[in-house]
Structure 1
Amino acid sequence: MLTVTGLTAVATALAEPVLEIAYDQQVRRLTRAQLLAYSSLDTIDIPADVAYGRAMRYQAIPITALLPRLSQAGTMQFTASDGFVANIPAALLAGGKGNAQAWLAIESSDGVWPPLKVGGASAGPFYLVWLTPGKSGISTEQWPYKIARIADAPPLEIRHPQLIPKAPLPIDSAERRGLQVYMTNCAVCHQINGGGDAQIGPDLNKPFNPTEYFQESFLRRFIREPASVRTWPQRTMPGFSPSIISDDSLNDLLRYLRQMAKERTH
């Protein structure tokens, strides 16, 4: 029979957040306490935090301490508990002199982070943050929070070839550049032709492509500032300013979407 003390211990164990890391041919499940005990744990200041929109201070571990030999990996997949999935090139995470530095921030039980919105949850328990993100052109969608799992994986377009235009386009075409914009900023929530890891938002080609039901001026506005076109209580899509998706990159993204509308699978 469990005593009150025993029941408390069980409840605490069940409540302890766990991060699963599938990397380098092994799977590890690390509790928050284990991560907070890492010798490389440090306190870092993020001047312009993406999730909170202000300066934040975190206890964090350099991602290279968790994931050694990143330079030999291809893509790292960060899966959040809400279904958000970010596929980030390992080369970005590896950092190096003169580049952005990736850290895994850890929310401690006695240092709970603020809620992301009134009455909601925080960005914890695990959150990928960056020091000097501008040095490597880190997108806002490459700051996944509520992380539940980190895994190495083949590139998204290799696992889901239906994302790649089938038309014989030049390698430097706007449509192929647009695919890269899509994978960095849109595939974290959406699929195309049923291809992708995330399912937070709708498929962007089935049954219809947004280029088919939005006038172009409104589609551009929706991407830049969704709430200015339509909004609802459960809306989670952020806006993408020119500092995140430049005007040229937005043009490429729309070219890609229009091309995929011609290549819809059924």
Structure 2
Amino acid sequence: MVSLLRRLCLLALAIALPLHAGDLTVDLGHGAKTYTTAQLLARSDARDVTIPDDVAFKRAMRYRAVPLKALLEGVSPDDTLQFVASDGFAAQIPAALIVRAHGSEAWLAIEDPTHPWPMLAEIKGDAGPFYVVWTNPAAMKIGPEQWPFQLASIRRQPPVAERFPAIQPDPALKAGDPVVRGLAVFERTCFACHTLNGQGDAKLGPDLNIPHSPTEYLREDLFRAYIRDPQSLRRWPQARMPGFDRKALTDQDMDDLLAYLRHMAGRKAKP
């Protein structure tokens, strides 16, 4: 009875919600759907979810959220999903991580306009209206770039290699080559904010190969320090790039990423 009353109250709240309540567009290739804040808060599968170590807020957080896979009906584990934020962040997340979860679970956290979330210290802004959070992320090695906030849309996309051929290394390289492994690291950690050879959907950071790769103007030790802590190289209060600790990016990942960027410096696309 309490649950029913809560749902009825949330439905009634739709008319009264402030103007900053958001809309989320989900396009899986068979007609786009738009979900409003009020609709999502009123869903019967909405739950209170506790995140002990939240990526964006750097502390424990509690959210009203719905299981993300419940919004992805018809998605195949082989699909790639693009999560686009209002600030230009564009994460490519394999659908298998969401629909075939083994230990981790993705949730869509919904900001209630009557109880807004705190401001984010690093960007001095709001993480809402929607934010992808994960319970037990370590179980599937979910990285910080797979926690998109300020979420505006989710779209099913063709494979990254098909959409963006200019980011691919020499096809003659074998699967276990450090450069090939580095491409996977780049897609997971860098591609959400940066383009390469002019290709990609992100609009937050500069291109990482045109006109120059960072491997062409940064010493290796400075590059490594910058990835771990961007403020250690250049202090800038408005900087948006996060640091990647060894849980998010291992030393082996770093080696592979450097191998990939050095390799791509010799495969620049023409302007």
TM-score when normalising by structure 2: 0.90
Aligned partners of 1:36 and 1:62: how far apart in 2? 12
Aligned partner of 1:188 in structure 2 is 192
Counterpart selection for 1:53 from 17, 37, 58: 58
Aligned partner of 1:247 in structure 2 is 251
CA contact (8 A) 2:77 2:94 kept: no
> Structure 2 counterpart of 1:149, which letter?
S
Say which SS state the counterpart of residue 125 (structure 2) adopts.
coil
Aligned partners of 1:15 and 1:218: how far apart in 2? 41
Cα 1:13/1:238, change in 2 over 3 Å: closer
Return the offset for 1:233.
2.4
Counterpart selection for 1:32 from 23, 37, 43: 37
Cα 1:90/1:119, change in 2 over 3 Å: closer
Aligned partner of 1:263 in structure 2 is 267
Aligned partners of 1:141 and 1:158: how far apart in 2? 21
Counterpart selection for 1:102 from 86, 106, 118: 106
Sequence identity, in percent? Answer: 45
Aligned partners of 1:251 and 1:117: how far apart in 2? 30
> Structure 2 counterpart of 1:87, which letter?
Q
Asked whether 1:42 is paired with 2:44, we answer no
Return the offset for 1:119.
8.9
Counterpart selection for 1:80 from 73, 82, 85: 85
Aligned partners of 2:106 and 2:88: how far apart in 1? 21
CA contact (8 A) 1:95 1:101 kept: no
Aligned partner of 1:3 in structure 2 is none
Deviations 1:13-40 (A, max 9, x none): 7543111111141101111001111110
> Structure 1 counterpart of 2:90, which letter?
V
Aligned partners of 2:218 and 2:81: how far apart in 1? 33
Cα 1:82/1:105, change in 2 over 3 Å: same
Deviations 1:76-120 (A, max 9, x none): 110000000001000001143x42100000000111000002893
Stretches of structure 1 lacking an aligned partner (at least 5 in a row) = 1-8
Deviations 1:153-209 (A, max 9, x none): 112222001000135211210000000000000000001100111021000001000
1:1-266 equivalent positions in 2, closer than 5 A: 14-96=19-101, 98-117=102-121, 120-166=124-170, 168-266=172-270
CA contact (8 A) 2:21 2:129 kept: no
TM-score when normalising by structure 1: 0.92
Aligned partners of 2:103 and 2:243: how far apart in 1? 25
